[in-house]
Structure 1
Amino acid sequence: MKSFTSFDGVEICYRQWNSRAKGVPVILQHGYIANARVNWVLPGIVFRLTMTGHRVIALDARGHGRSDKPQDAEAYGESRMARDVSCLIDELRLEEVDLVGYSMGATVALLVAAQDQRIRKLVIGGIGAHTLSLGRSHNSQVKKKLAAALLTPNRRSIKHPALLGFRLFADFMRADRNAMAAQALAFHSRKIPFERITNPTLVIAGRNDPLAIHPEKLQAALPDAQLCITPGNHSTALMSLQFKSALVTFLS
């Protein structure tokens, strides 16, 4: 993997495939606790994109994968991750890119599209109507409970199934749980300026994804968006043939 130093000194790692391919490059931003390999390589998404002639770039978000892992919540949040994506575009001297984000990475992608004019097409997956309530709902207690679940030495003490799921995933990934807790406390909670996101957008959601409820409302909030419902839940939707086919068709 290659790396670059982002705006605040955090080292961000990324990989490229088909670097000599012509056309608009595709940048992939993964979800919370995951990394580029888990979200994009293993499900075959990078393979499908490269086989259809795309140059593909996937980064590990700060705190994730091989990128730097600050321990302070002030170093995290999707707004900072969005700046990391723009810094990567600067680093590679790209004039235009297509941007794909999943789950946490979808929020990152929305924030990038709202402020960076170099985004051509946008794909957001694994999120739904909840994203529209950012800035209106108070979720500080949820953030604290998630951080506590990630940090407790005894995961058997975690009673809430969703919190336990995040903790088990972090343990499976051998993630830096201090970094994950810091990001949990910094999750984006401000209103996203959807009116500024005029890019052609594809919203993808798994039919059984509890984190992407009512994706049609998210589609309706975007000026130029279409919706694709695929089989699967939050983890398995990425693996479905429909996800990959919709992505490749939209970006072609």
Structure 2
Amino acid sequence: MPSFVSEELALAYEVHGAGHPVLCIHGFASSGKVNWVDTGWVKTLTDAGYQAITLDNRGHGRSDKPHDPDFYTPQAMARDAINLLDHLGHETAVLLGYSMGARIAAFAGFSHPQRVDCAVLGGMGMNLVNGLSDGNDIISGLLAPSLEELTHPTARQFRIFADHTKSDRQALAACMETSRAPMARADVRRINSPVLVAVGEDDEMAGAPEPLAALLPDGEAFVIPRRDHMRATGDPKFKAAALEFIGRHLRSNANL
């Protein structure tokens, strides 16, 4: 995989296809491959005529993995996304994020509005503002000596996922400490790009999509039927809604 340097960290990425760029930002304990290639998102985007750019966030995949929580604020990780656009020579892009990646996309949309055509926030509803209540349990689960002693369901879920992706669990624990920082309501109201908020009907981690969409100046909500947080990622209805939203807003931008 190619890599680039963002704030002294080497971050891995891949570019798939040609067309208008869609920067895909993965969720916690995942990677560009697991979140976007293995779920069929890259094929969906490239078949639709877009260039899909997958990034391994700091602490994940083949990117550098510092163990200091100060490296993992959403503001810092949002800068990585914008720095990758700079590295590739893209003035603007669509941002597609899932869970933690959606939080990163939101912070990027707030801090660099001129770089974002539109954004899709998957697996992240009102908890963008409210924060993640299970974060400390997840950290404990990641650092526990073994899975067998874990009883908290969310902690077990993420520990299993981290082991499956062969992640650096100490880096993930550091990431969880600071990357879950909530966004202020006033800042959400200042994200001017069109945003689709897509959350699974049975997702208990993300928070409801409708109130977050209502806070956004140009927000829309989509409920992914019969999906929880983990199973919504590659859902065909989610993909269809995202493609319709992206296409509609890119056509609108082209007509301005």
Q: Give the TM-score normalised by the residue count of structure 2.
A: 0.90
What is the distance in 2 between the residues matched to 1:130 and 1:113?
A: 17
CA distance, structure 1, for counterparts of residue 41 and residue 110 of structure 2: 25
**1:120 aligned onto 2:117:** yes
1:198 positional shift: 1.0
SS of equivalent residue, structure 2 residue 177: helix
Contact kept in structure 2, 1:17 and 1:50, CA below 8 Å: yes
2:214 to 211, 217, 220: 220
CA distance in 2, matches of 1:185, 1:29: 19
Aligned pair partner of 2:242 in 244, 247, 252:
247
User: What root-mean-square deviation, in Å, do the aligned CA atoms of Structure 1 and Structure 2 show?
Assistant: 1.5
Alpha-carbon distance in 2 for matches of 1:143, 1:55: 33
Deviations 1:26-82 (A, max 9, x none): 100000001111111111111011011101111000011111111111121222110
Runs of 4+ in 1 over 2 A off after TM superposition: 142-146, 187-192
Change (3 A) 1:145 1:205: closer
Map 1:1-252 to 2 at 5 A: 1-7=1-7, 9-19=8-18, 21=19, 24-116=20-112, 117-134=114-131, 142-192=134-184, 193-231=187-225, 232-252=227-247
Residue 86 of structure 2 aligns with an amino acid whose one-letter code is D
Following the alignment from structure 2 to structure 1, what is the Cα–Cα distance between the partners of residues 142 and 81? 26
Identical aligned pairs, as a percentage?
37
Moved more, 164-173 or 145-154: 145-154
SS at match of 1:109: helix
Structure 1 residue 225 displacement after superposition = 1.1
Report the alpha carbon displacement of residue 155 of structure 1 after superposing the two structures with TM.
2.0
Q: Distance in 2 between matches of 1:189 and 1:98?
A: 23
TM-score normalized by the length of structure 1: 0.92
How far has the Cα of 1:86 moved from its partner?
Answer: 1.0
Q: Which amino acid aligns with 1:121?
A: C
Q: How far apart are the structure 2 equivalents of 1:176 and 1:121?
A: 32
Say how many residue pairs are matched.
243
In structure 2, the gaps of 5 or more residues are 248-256
Counterpart CA distance in 1 for 2:130 and 2:41 is 30
1:162-194 per-position Cα deviation (integer Å, ceiling 9, x unaligned): 111111111111111011111111133243411
In structure 2, distance between residues paired with 1:154 and 1:39: 25
Deviations 1:96-137 (A, max 9, x none): 111011000000000000011211111101012222225xx9
